[in-house]
């Protein structure tokens, strides 16, 4: 059985958003003996120029027929594309007949503009997550997930996350063996769980304000300690009250939240990359109680530590 995959393009789309998912389906189809038929789509058909200047030949979506899966790519031109009523109508129609509808990076904005994502959990590139939530408050935006699967809708973060999503779609279609062989051929990991963070928590917080960069590094190196506000304020040479106010203003979150994010990142690294018992990791990273760590994982990653470990226990490509 041949599955038709429509890749929806528009002027100034991101070339690698389209190329990455296309390559994953192409290779999987060869390995699986059940080829995918990839069709680049656009409003008028013909050549569509990417933001890099390279153009791809496309089929006008009004004449393209039906598809198993529609993938809307991201790119600098997504804002202009959102204003195209014909494109919106095409997405809405395909959402009623296609088995799956997906986005890569800022392609999520195009899906959101049609109402397809209403009340669903979604993601996009972390730099655009705040804007997506502000523009479409009815969405449940997971700001740092690599990809999110909510019913027939799949959304992913930037370029490499689109490949992760495509591998997950291939696995759903053809099984884990074909998914893994595809990843090996592409020399990528099979597979990064969708809930995995897009970026380093420490990098995220340091990038907001250099004032507390040294303290954040110290926290990362001392997670096992009781990191109360009093302890952190003393380390920063400030009064607790002034420290809490200044830290929140500079970093964008409370000291307690920053400590938890750094503990979660460190704990996840150990859960995924070691065979240490969960109880030991909880102590090493300052959670101490494995149940407390489990609840924190569920809030942040939407899965418990045991599931994170199972999902990471795969061979690299």
Q: Could you tell me which residues come within 8 angstroms of residue 92 by beta carbon, excluding any fewer than 6 positions away?
A: 114, 115, 116
According to CATH, the superfamily of the domain at 201-312 is Homeodomain-like (1.10.10.60)
pLDDT band at 247 (very low <50, low <70, confident <90, very high): very high
Residues 175, 282: contact at Cβ < 8 Å?
A: no
Tokens found for residue 260: 């938890």
- Asked whether the beta carbons of 72 and 107 are under 8 A apart, the reply is yes
pLDDT at 116 over 90: yes
Alpha helices in the chain, H assignment, sequence order: 15-32, 78-82, 85-97, 107-114, 129-135, 159-174, 176-186, 201-208, 213-221, 229-236, 240-251, 255-273, 278-284, 290-301, 305-312
Whether the bond into 191 is cis, omega within 30 of 0: yes
Q: Which of 95, 105, 139, 167 is catalytic?
A: 105
Q: Which of 123-127, 248-252, 280-284 shows the highest mean pLDDT?
A: 280-284
> What is the domain partition of the chain in residue ranges?
3-186, 201-312
CA atoms of 294 and 195, how far apart (whole Å): 15
Question: What global pTM score does this model have?
Answer: 0.66
Report CA dihedral (179, 182, 186, 190) to the nearest 10 degrees. 20
What share of the chain in percent tops pLDDT 90? 68
Band of pLDDT at residue 309, cut at 50, 70 and 90: confident
Instruction: Say whether 84 is catalytic.
Output: no
Higher pLDDT, 180 or 102: 102
Per-residue pLDDT at 314: 43
The pLDDT tens digits for 61-96 are: 999 999 999 999 999 999 999 999 999 999 999 999
CATH 3.40.50.880 holds for 3-186: yes
């Amino acid at each position: 059985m041949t599955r038709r995959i429509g890749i929806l393009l528009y002027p100034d789309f991101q070339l690698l958003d389209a190329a990455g998912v296309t390559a994953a389906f192409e290779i999987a189809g060869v390995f699986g003996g059940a080829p995918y038929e990839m069709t680049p789509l656009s409003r008028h058909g013909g050549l569509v120029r990417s933001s890099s200047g390279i153009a791809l030949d496309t089929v006008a979506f009004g004449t393209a027929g039906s598809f198993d899966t529609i993938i809307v790519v991201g790119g600098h031109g997504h804002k202009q594309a959102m204003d195209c009523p014909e494109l919106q109508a095409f997405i809405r129609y395909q959402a009623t007949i296609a088995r799956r509808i997906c986005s890569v990076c800022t392609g999520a904005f195009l899906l959101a503009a049609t109402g397809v994502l209403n009340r669903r959990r979604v993601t996009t590139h972390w730099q655009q997550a705040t804007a997506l939530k502000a523009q479409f408050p009815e969405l449940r935006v997971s700001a740092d997930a690599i990809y999110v699967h909510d019913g027939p809708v799949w959304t992913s973060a930037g370029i490499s996350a689109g490949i992760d999503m495509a591998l997950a779609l291939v696995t759903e279609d053809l099984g884990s063996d074909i998914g893994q062989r595809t990843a090996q051929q592409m020399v990528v990991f099979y597979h990064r769980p969708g809930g995995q963070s897009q970026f380093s928590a420490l990098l995220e917080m340091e990038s907001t304000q250099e004032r507390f960069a040294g303290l954040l590094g110290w926290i990362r190196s001392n997670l096992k300690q009781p990191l109360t506000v009093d302890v952190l304020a003393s380390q920063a040479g400030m009064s607790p009250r002034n420290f809490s106010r200044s830290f929140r203003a500079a970093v964008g979150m409370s000291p307690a939240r920053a400590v938890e994010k750094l503990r979660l990142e460190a704990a996840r690294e150990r859960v995924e990359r070691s065979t240490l018992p969960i109880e030991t990791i909880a102590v090493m990273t300052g959670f101490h109680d494995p149940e407390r760590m489990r609840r924190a994982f569920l809030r942040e990653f939407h899965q418990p530590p045991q599931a994170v470990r199972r999902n990471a226990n795969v061979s690299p490509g």
